[in-house]
Amino acid sequence: MDRTRLRRSMLYVPGNNAGMIRDAAIYHSDSIMFDLEDSVAYRQKDAARMLVFQNLRTLDFEGIETVVRINGLDTPYGREDIRAMVKARPDIIRLPKTDCAQDVQEVEKLIEIEERKNGMPVGTIGMMAAIESPLGVINAYSIATSSDRLIGIAIGAEDYVTAMKTARSASGVEILYARSAIVTAARAAGICAFDTVYSDLNNEEGFEAEVRLIKQLGFDGKSIISPRQIKLVHDVFAPNGKEIAFAERVIEAIEEAKAKGSGVIAVNGKMIDKPIVERAISTLERADAAGLRDYSSPAEGVLHA
């Protein structure tokens, strides 16, 4: 499991839609999440599971991370989802409605049983936990640290605001605490944090404002429901030219200080401390992962036009 890969966009694909499953890779989201839970009617659960299983086994998703959102263990479908999906080998199994660490650990045990049955190394399948309730938000850190398989935790806003006896608003003030708690827990645990979907496809201005907000809060990326949303998310999360240039200068200053045997690092006359260095390294890692620096040019690290 690679916790460092780009996960800016996670495209929802209903598990009962053969056409969307077949075409999912052409849009180049960072991750594709095949949904066996809320987007699939009860009478179609078994058919959707088989459809996702067959496509995971036969289609080439071109290196895109594959995620399957299973049904909960409190339903008749969760255990069957785990049995089939471990055999299908997606990169990640996503748990819905996670309230506590035990929810993660119960699913982890079932995944391990199926890995062993199928001759797979234990730990092959990663996990993600969606937090969708006030109790889950309170337990966010214990959830985030409940398993070495967890690559990230995510907020599911619709169930959360319902439980809070409120509703979604344009400002998102009603989920600000939950977002902050989840991203803080993820950072403390050293895993990724994912934001909830934005369902008004006709309000691009509102969508952009929300993506900028969650990036500022520290999220790694956002779950999305339409390929139309991918480019904007990627653009917002990409480091800009000024940020990359400063980060490169910070790294150059570090090397210069090392060469001189100096412990003092300065850029443009200002002292550079450890948090700034860490942000610079992170900026360049994200720029490299997004292909924003061109190492084939005479000047290493030149931005792509």
Residues 41 and 111 grouped into a single domain: yes
Residue 262: the pLDDT is 66
Between 249 and 27, the more confident residue is 27
Residue 238: the pLDDT is 85
Residue 274: the pLDDT is 78
Assigned token pair, 67: 């995620």
Task: Identify the H or E element spanning 69.
Answer: strand 65-69
The rounded distance, in Å, linking the Cα atoms of 75 and 81 is 11
Query: Would residue 187 count as lying in a domain?
Result: yes
Residues 150 and 186 grouped into a single domain: yes
Q: What is the CATH number of the domain that holds 225?
A: 3.20.20.60
Assigned token pair, 265: 């690092």
Residue 297: the pLDDT is 45
Residue 4: the pLDDT is 63
The rounded distance, in Å, linking the Cα atoms of 227 and 26 is 9
Residue 279: the pLDDT is 81
In this structure, how many other beta carbons lie within 10 angstroms of the beta carbon of residue 229? 23
The rounded distance, in Å, linking the Cα atoms of 107 and 126 is 11
- Show the CA angle centred on residue 237, arms to residues 236 and 241, nearest 5°: 80
Please give the average per-residue pLDDT across 41-64, as a whole number.
Answer: 96
Residues present in the chain in total = 305
The DSSP code for 228 is G
Residues 268 and 228 grouped into a single domain: no
Task: Supply the DSSP string of 89-125, one letter for each residue.
Answer: --SEEEESS--SHHHHHHHHHHHHHHHHHTTPPTT-S
The rounded distance, in Å, linking the Cα atoms of 304 and 129 is 36
- Whole-model pTM: value is 0.85
Between 152 and 246, the more confident residue is 152
Residue 225: the pLDDT is 96
Bridge-based pairing state of the strands 126-131 and 92-95:
parallel
Q: How many CA atoms lie within 13 A of 181 on its CB side?
A: 19
Quick check: 305 pLDDT over 70? no
Query: Would residue 91 count as lying in a domain?
Result: yes
Given pLDDT bands bounded at 50, 70 and 90, which one contains residue 301?
very low
Query: Would residue 47 count as lying in a domain?
Result: yes
Please give the average per-residue pLDDT across 267-284, as a whole number.
Answer: 78
Residue 189: the pLDDT is 97
The rounded distance, in Å, linking the Cα atoms of 181 and 142 is 12
Given pLDDT bands bounded at 50, 70 and 90, which one contains residue 264?
low
Greatest Cα-to-Cα distance within the chain, rounded to the nearest angstrom: 70
**Structure confidence by residue, pLDDT tens digits, 176-194:** 999 999 999 999 999 999 9
Asked which of 219, 237, 255 is the last residue of a domain, the reply is 237
Please give the average per-residue pLDDT across 243-259, as a whole number.
Answer: 80
Query: Would residue 1 count as lying in a domain?
Result: no
Query: Would residue 295 count as lying in a domain?
Result: yes
Given pLDDT bands bounded at 50, 70 and 90, which one contains residue 295?
low
For 105, residues 6+ apart whose C-beta sits below 8 A from its C-beta are: 146, 147
Domain, as residue range, for 217? 9-237
Quick check: 257 pLDDT over 90? no
Produce one character per residue of 136-152: b if its CB has 16 or more CB atoms within 10 Å, e if not.
Answer: bbebbbebbbbbebbbb
Quick check: 116 pLDDT over 50? yes
Per-chain mean pLDDT for the chain:
91
Residues 129 and 54 grouped into a single domain: yes
How much of the chain, in percent, has pLDDT values that exceed 90?
75
Query: Would residue 4 count as lying in a domain?
Result: no
**Structure confidence by residue, pLDDT tens digits, 196-235:** 999 999 999 999 999 999 999 999 999 999 999 999 999 9
